[in-house]
Amino acid sequence: MVDLTVDYLGMTLRSPLVASASPATADVDGLRRLEDAGCAAVVLPSLFEEEIEHYALEVDRILMTGADSHTEAHSYFPDLYEYYTGPERYLDLVERAKRAVSIPVIPSLNGVTTGWWTEFARHLQDAGADAIELNEYVVAADPNLSSASVEERYLDLVREVEATVDIPFAVKIGPFFSSFGNMAGQLVAAGADGLVLFNRFFQPDIDLDTLSVEPHLTLSDSEDLRLPLRWIALLRRRIEASLAASSGIHTVEDVLKALLAGADVTMMASALLRHGADHIQGVERALVGWLEDHGYTSVRLLQGSVCADAAADPSAYERANYLQTLRSYSSDRI
Amino acid sequence: MYAIIDGNEAAARVAHRLSEVIAIYPITPASPMGELADEWSTRGETNLWGTVPEVVEMQSEAGAAGALHGAVQAGALATTFTASQGLLLMLPNMFKIAGELTPTVIHVAARTVATHALSIFGDHSDVMAARSTGFAMLAASSVQEAHDFAAVAHAVTLRSRVPFLHFFDGFRTSHEMGRVALLDDSDLHALIDERAVLAHRALRLTPDAPVLRGTAQNPDVFFQAREAANPHYDAVPGIVQEVMDELAARTGRHYHAVDYVGSTTAEHVLVLMGSGCGAARECVADLASRGDPVGLVTIRLYRPFPASALAAALPDTARRVAVLDRTKEPGAVGEPLYLDVVAALHAGGRGDVDVLGGRYGLSSKEFTPAMVKGVLDSLVRADTPRPFTVGIVDDVTHTSVPPDPDYTLEGGEIRAVFYGLGADGTVGACKATTKIIGEGTELHPQAYFVYDSKKSGSITVSHLRFGPDPITSTYLVERATFVACHQFQFLERIDVLACAADGATFLLNSPHGPGEVWDHLPREVQETIIAKRLHFFVIDAHSVAREAGMGARINTVMQPCFFALAGVLPRDEAVAKIKDHVERMYARRGRPIVERNHAAIDAALHALHEVSVPTAVTATSGRLPPVPADAPDFVQRVTGRILEGQGDLLPVSALPVDGTFPTGTARWEKRMIAHEIPIWDPDICIDCGKCAIACPHAAIRMKVYAPSTLEDLDAEVLTKPFRSKEISGYNVTIQVAPDDCTGCGVCVDVCPAKNKAEVRLKAINMRPAATHRMQERVRFDAFLCIPEAAPDLLEPGTVKGSQVREPLFEYSGACAGCGETPYLKLLTQLFGDRIVIANATGCSSIYGANLPTTPWTTNAAGRGPAWSNSLFEDNAEFGLGMRLALESHLHEATRLLHDLAPLVGEDLARTILEAPQTSSVEIETQRRLVEDLQGHLAGVGGEAAGQAARLDSIADDLVRKSVWIVGGDGWAYDIGYGGLDHVLASGRDLNILVLDTEVYSNTGGQASKATPRAAVAKFAAAGKATGKKDLGMIATQYGDVYVAHVALGANDVQTVKAFVEADEWPGPSLVIAYSTCIAHGIDMATSMSHQKDAVRSGYWPLYRYHPGADEHARPFKLDSKSPSIPFREFAAKEARFAMLERVDPERARELADLAQADIDERWRLYDQMTDIERTVIGTEREEDWD
């Protein structure tokens, strides 16, 4: 019998197959289906800083609209006393999720600034979260903003969450840093217990009918694994933190590659949205089959065995490999 | 236990605790009582006996009184709240309730009854109209008394069975905030006799012990039966005192039916009731303490009138008594309280006392100690007018007694006045300050707020007092120790320092720092600062607020500055208390709100600077004149004085005797409230006219003209060739009225033309007013000189055609982005020179005719809409009366013209009588003919001269007139529905325009029967559970009524068509116009886009029901496509729907599903309606149907 268990953020999971944040993890019924399919842990959809701020500002704006402006109407809406503008409903989801499933529940906080909203990390902890995924995403649109100051914002946020909660938390980020490896190290030094590589986010698109800019998100495919694969391989054994591969995990092959590169867990979202929760069951069966076929007794044995420090040719993960690829690509076409 | 609350809340807290059924209907200034009761019940707060009171909103106050009557007959403890016309609508039921000796309490925020004008403010004309109903009447004169007497009234009505009208002065008490010692449950239990509660229940109508009430009686017994109740009334004064004594024993607050203060040997005594007693008490106490023989009798129980108590209360030494009535009864020997006092003193053996009657304080007119002193002084003189008035200068019938100009007296050690904008949160901050000081210190607080009559850019003035003793100064702050001006631009328009006492502190929100501000002050401000030796401070609150993410809400910045400068509390303690208050106020709304407020507070004190005041005035210019120098005489003499806040000083002779005012005055009031104004880009413009038709304030104008016209202008205007299929060789200009625009941005939102090089730009774009105002002012002046287009230049029944016509409704004070006003403006563009408008009370009557100015105006020929408002409930009937008068005149003019045809010319007479009057050109031709006729009539002499004079007086009515009956949904769906239905059934040529905002907008967004399912509104705080009434479909059932359902933002072409068809239809027409409103919780800049979504979702289908005589006529035409987006997509963008999701997600989902089902089902019905054939029955108008 192959041992599928892995360690992630200090937790022992039954397998490396984790459901990443997506609509598939947005309600308790979905979580139950995932658990039934063998999912080892679930990451809930993000509680967005902007969302909390938006609702609070909206309620405030509504109640203040026209308030105390006219003799006959000192307001235009009844004051309903209790408003769910903060994390109340999200916390409720966390609590219900914890009651509904026995696998670890990892809520996700998504934000860019330090301050009031990181208090919600504590609320998540109090609601029973097993760990937290801190999703950081800054578009440095201001050309006057230096990369150093952007990085500092990331680190400040990590420090603040680290000071706020006792449970482990992973940082989910994008790859767009001048020196990603250094940044990863700094995030871990700032308190992150793990890194989730990488987040996918809405990218703008232009509607040709209205000429308006619309947010757009496409589901990933296996090709998207290449980037996390490289960085997981490069970071494995070089930083002391859990590593999760979270883009382009669709098939057992993707899972295996990520694990070989050094991922502690592999996270699926697009695959679950396409194929449903039972997809996990199929991948797990295939994973066991491959491990057995190839003589592995456990996933742990496999993990990181092809990371940069363990691979036969580490330079394949670096720039030299890029040049080689480019040449071969060119020669193929000419 | 204390609370810092206003009079409405003080009364409502008791009423809610002591009631099982509460019937409500909104009316200023009583609405907050109903709103609070509804909110409390929605939250599950119970009455004294553990039951959540049933709160029901009715269709009118008459309905509320009916429901009240039924509830008390069925044994419930029931109450209601009302004022003014609302109380008048309750009168019939009040006679019944009292006649049946049924315990209940009506709480009244006493308000002026509309006479020559509506007034929302306070006096006793409403409650005096109720004095014959048989209700006992108890008058509270302070916020504390509104709380205590509410309990007394509920207790006594149960013990005596006599129903009570508990009243306090509208605004002065209902809206004044003060510290109120609250009655707790044990107090209320002690006052309420449980046996009386059970006795009331025992008398209820029940089939288990059936009785008969409400009989009809005959001459034989009615009279005796009427007298049978006398013992109950005789007992009331005693029971009132019994309860007041019980209250005193528990609280230490002693009251009597009649209370006396002043000298025990007073010779001159005042008698009055209500809030005026506060000012009177201050003055009398002051004078008596100096040995003056003066006193004050406060009447608390007014019915049954405590005659013997009054006689007993009056010192034996009294020689002259002045009875002050806060009401006017034209033609009476005296006002009601005066007559009561005269009769009571005679009956009590005090006929020797000389009693004078006087009027004061009508419509919340200020009543100050100086006026009280003036009245007392007049009692010394022999020539005091009888009756007299005080507080005004009556230079017509010379009734007024002057105040003592040298007498000042004012409570409170700290007296602060704050000038702010409605949108900047000043009033909210002042309320918070009042609570912080009232709850956190030993000081007694008082806060009162004054608003101007505009709904956009309104100026608010907050009057706050704080002192170690209870504050009874029931008048505005006169000698402020602290004045704050929260908007720098006010300095140019109003005298904000007039109320500043010598040595006061002046805090100014200024974009100019302490070193520069002096040179930016108008001359008068500099003079006052120096003369009064003011301590002057500035802060750039807008910058601080902006940086803290507070936008225009500078209140949080200004508030700590007040605390820092006024010295009420140590600075650190004050900041901590403000932050704590913010936490308590805003934590429910979300942490970001608290954080932003805290950031603003922290930043505020760092930005506060004292200004070193120079010793000399340096300014070369002064305040702006209130109106331009070329304004008409009346506008200069009267309107201008009101605009500059000097209306109180206008003498009686300055005012019209009958409430008639000139139109066209808004154009003289240059408010300049926009921070950004729209600037036209002719290179991008496609001449569609959408910006003009959507502009709520007629501040975007469109003119089409021959290019040569430009040569005659003094200044350049932007111009471009006009694209049109109808005409060629013309130019067009779109121009903003820069001083009248509110900056709402609706024009930009609707503009469909995008700049191809930069898609964020359109053919019209918002730009900073500060940098564009001067240039646009020059352009606008030149634009006005371009002649109006000839009426036949373009087909008027199109968007472009309507928009090149002159609007005769302009620059209203409606909310920025108002969804109603574009329809009214369009009405005037299409028919403005020949319409009479009956306008229901509501938003449209307020922005349409609340002094000082009116947006209704005239064209160059002096023609324009003739407008009047009768009441809220009778508007349809009011309009019908106008139509009948027109028809009567038309019939007589037709007959006279036939008779006089040989004298004025047979051809002329025939031409006039047979003239087609459909198009503007035809109507203009008819006008010329009628002028010709009048010329001939002037020459008719002899026996026919009398007939000629009669015809001349009504000859204008030979020119076609339209009557438009205009009002909101509160009127059309609820209170005025009976009349509206009757008018629809009349078959008369009338047009009804319903401006459907789906709530009572004017009173603050209470639900009406037009409110849709799932929407949150006041009186529907948990989301309205029932669907919207389909008024249009109801109207179609008559068959001969033209009905249109329009939304200008969704389909302006259909709207214009509907207006034209409605006007042309010779029978009744009903146009229901979707009107976006700030009560929808939307960004009003996108007002028209919301209308588009409302139609796309099927929420507001567009249709026209055009009755036809053809046998196979299909009158119903759907003008909108089948729904293309779900209700949820539309609703998610409107807070009225979306906020329920934030409060009760499950209910929100349920109601949203039902709302979608409503839409689906209605669409199914309408879809079937398009196939239905229907013919109008009757032949008398067949010739018109074609």
pLDDT tens digits, A207-257: 998 888 887 778 889 999 999 999 999 999 999 999 999 999 999 999 999
Q: Is residue A33 in a domain?
A: yes
What number of C-beta contacts closer than 8 Å exist between A and B? 145
Q: Is residue A141 in a domain?
A: yes
Instruction: Give the per-residue SS3 of B855-888.
Output: CECCCCCCCCCEEECCCCCCHHHHHHHHHHHHHH
- Band (pLDDT 50/70/90 cuts) for residue B1182 is very low
User: Is residue B422 less than 8 Å (CB to CB) from chain A?
Assistant: yes
Strands B535-539 and B2-6: unpaired
Q: Is the pLDDT of residue B976 over 80?
A: yes
- Across A70-84, B187-201, B441-455, the highest mean pLDDT is recorded for B187-201
Position B195 scores a pLDDT of 98
**Cβ partners under 8 Å of residue A78, min gap 6:** B35, B38, B39, B42, B1016, B1017, B1018, B1021
Position A331 scores a pLDDT of 42
Position A321 scores a pLDDT of 54
Give the up-direction half-sphere exposure of residue A190: CA atoms within 13 A in the CB hemisphere. Answer: 22
Task: Residue A224: give its domain's CATH number.
Answer: 3.20.20.70
- Band (pLDDT 50/70/90 cuts) for residue B314 is very high
Q: Is the pLDDT of residue A268 over 80?
A: yes
| Alpha-carbon span B315 to B770, nearest angstrom | 66
- Mean pLDDT (chain B) is 96
Amino acid letter for position B772: H
- Give the model confidence (pLDDT) of B1109-1147 as tens digits: 888 899 999 999 999 999 999 999 999 999 898 888 899
| Domains of chain B and CATH, by start | 2-205+217-250 (3.40.50.970), 256-401 (3.40.50.920), 425-562+576-611 (3.40.920.10), 628-662 (4.10.780.10), 674-805 (3.30.70.20), 890-958 (no CATH), 997-1169 (3.40.50.970)
Report percent pLDDT > 70 for chain A.
Answer: 95
Q: What's the rounded mean pLDDT across residues A108-114?
A: 84
Position B1179 scores a pLDDT of 47
**Residue B191's CB: how many other CB atoms inside 10 A?**
23
**Cβ partners under 8 Å of residue B569, min gap 6:** B437, B440, B441, B563, B577
**Cβ–Cβ of A77/B595 closer than 8 Å?**
no
Q: Is residue A241 in a domain?
A: yes
Q: Is residue A1 in a domain?
A: no
Q: Position of tokens 């005091």? A: B384
Residues of B in contact with A62 (CB under 8 A): 1081, 1135, 1139
Choice among B1002, B1011, B1036, B1086 that is catalytic: B1002
User: Is residue B1005 less than 8 Å (CB to CB) from chain A?
Assistant: yes
Give the up-direction half-sphere exposure of residue B1119: CA atoms within 13 A in the CB hemisphere. Answer: 23
Contact A225, A254 (CB under 8 A): yes
Q: Is B28 a catalytic residue?
A: yes
Give the phi and the psi of residue B176 in degrees, each rounded to 5. -85, 135
**Cβ–Cβ of B449/A76 closer than 8 Å?**
no
Contact B1109, B1175 (CB under 8 A): yes
Choice among B13, B111, B161, B596 that is catalytic: B111
**Cβ–Cβ of B589/A75 closer than 8 Å?**
no
Q: Is the pLDDT of residue B1183 over 70?
A: no
Q: Of the candidates B43, B431, B1142, which has its C-beta nearest A55's C-beta?
A: B1142
Nearest chain B CA: its distance from A186 CA (Å): 29
- Give the model confidence (pLDDT) of A56-69 as tens digits: 888 888 888 888 88
| Alpha-carbon span B241 to B259, nearest angstrom | 12
Q: Is the pLDDT of residue B464 over 50?
A: yes
Contact B1101, B763 (CB under 8 A): no
Choice among B61, B335, B478, B873 that is catalytic: B61
Q: Among candidates B148, B145, B193, which has minimal Cα distance to B172?
A: B145
**Cβ–Cβ of A66/B42 closer than 8 Å?**
no
**Cβ–Cβ of B1081/A62 closer than 8 Å?**
yes
Contact B119, B112 (CB under 8 A): yes
Contact B867, B849 (CB under 8 A): yes
Contact B999, B1006 (CB under 8 A): yes
Q: Is residue A194 in a domain?
A: yes
Position A324 scores a pLDDT of 54
**Cβ partners under 8 Å of residue A316, min gap 6:** none
Nearest chain A CA: its distance from B248 CA (Å): 34
Q: What's the rounded mean pLDDT across residues A74-97?
A: 84
- Give the model confidence (pLDDT) of B1066-1111 as tens digits: 999 999 999 999 999 999 999 999 999 999 999 999 999 999 888 8
- Band (pLDDT 50/70/90 cuts) for residue B800 is very high
| Alpha-carbon span A111 to A47, nearest angstrom | 8
Nearest chain A CA: its distance from B841 CA (Å): 12
Give the phi and the psi of residue B356 in degrees, each rounded to 5. -110, 145
**Cβ–Cβ of A75/B1005 closer than 8 Å?**
yes
Contact B18, B77 (CB under 8 A): yes
Q: Is B839 a catalytic residue?
A: no
User: Is residue B427 less than 8 Å (CB to CB) from chain A?
Assistant: yes
User: Is residue B551 less than 8 Å (CB to CB) from chain A?
Assistant: no
**Cβ–Cβ of B591/A52 closer than 8 Å?**
yes
Q: Position of tokens 């009248």? A: B740
Structurally, chain A folds into a number of domains equal to 1
Q: Of the candidates A75, A78, A116, which has its C-beta nearest B591's C-beta?
A: A116
Q: Burial, B432: exposed, middle or buried (Cβ in 10 Å; 0-12, 13-18, 19+)?
A: buried
Instruction: For an interface test with B, give the residue of A47, A57, A64, A76 to mutate (most B CBs within 10 A).
Output: A76
Instruction: Return the higher-pLDDT residue of B602 and A317.
Output: B602
| Alpha-carbon span B321 to B339, nearest angstrom | 12
Q: Is the pLDDT of residue A320 over 60?
A: no
- Give the model confidence (pLDDT) of B881-899 as tens digits: 999 999 999 999 999 999 9
Nearest CA in chain B to A84: B1142
Write down the pTM of the prediction.
0.93
Q: What's the rounded mean pLDDT across residues B1040-1047?
A: 98
State the maximum Cα–Cα separation within chain A, in Å, rounded to a whole number: 83
Report percent pLDDT > 70 for chain B.
Answer: 99
B820 to A162, B455, B875, B879: CA distances (angstroms): 54, 13, 17, 19
End-to-end Cα, chain B, rounded Å = 74
- Band (pLDDT 50/70/90 cuts) for residue B1184 is very low
Q: What's the rounded mean pLDDT across residues B833-848?
A: 97
Give the phi and the psi of residue B709 in degrees, each rounded to 5. -55, -35
Nearest CA in chain B to A55: B590
Position A332 scores a pLDDT of 42
Q: Is the pLDDT of residue B243 over 60?
A: yes
Choice among B8, B17, B20, B28 that is catalytic: B28
Q: Is the pLDDT of residue B1153 over 50?
A: yes
Q: Is the pLDDT of residue B1186 over 60?
A: no
- Band (pLDDT 50/70/90 cuts) for residue B285 is very high
Residues of A in contact with B846 (CB under 8 A): 72
Q: Is residue A50 in a domain?
A: yes
Amino acid letter for position B149: F
| Alpha-carbon span B356 to B339, nearest angstrom | 10
Position B956 scores a pLDDT of 96
**Residue B136's CB: how many other CB atoms inside 10 A?**
26
Q: Peptide bond preceding B29: is omega within 30 degrees of 0, i.e. cis?
A: yes
Position A322 scores a pLDDT of 54
Q: Is residue A193 in a domain?
A: yes
Q: Of the candidates A59, A66, A76, which has its C-beta nearest B1142's C-beta?
A: A59
Q: Which domain range does residue A40 map to?
A: 6-333
- Band (pLDDT 50/70/90 cuts) for residue B907 is very high
Strands B835-839 and B866-868: parallel
Q: Among candidates A80, A88, A84, which has minimal Cα distance to A63?
A: A80
Q: Position of tokens 């609280």? A: B251
- Residues 216 through 275 of chain B touching chain A, CB cutoff 8 Å: none
**Cβ–Cβ of A77/B453 closer than 8 Å?**
no
Residues of A in contact with B425 (CB under 8 A): 64, 67-68
Q: Is B42 a catalytic residue?
A: no
Q: Is B858 a catalytic residue?
A: no
User: Is residue A64 less than 8 Å (CB to CB) from chain B?
Assistant: yes
**Cβ–Cβ of A76/B1005 closer than 8 Å?**
yes
| Alpha-carbon span B118 to A94, nearest angstrom | 57
**Cβ–Cβ of A116/B1139 closer than 8 Å?**
no
**Cβ–Cβ of A83/B590 closer than 8 Å?**
yes
- Mean pLDDT (chain A) is 90
Q: Is residue A149 in a domain?
A: yes
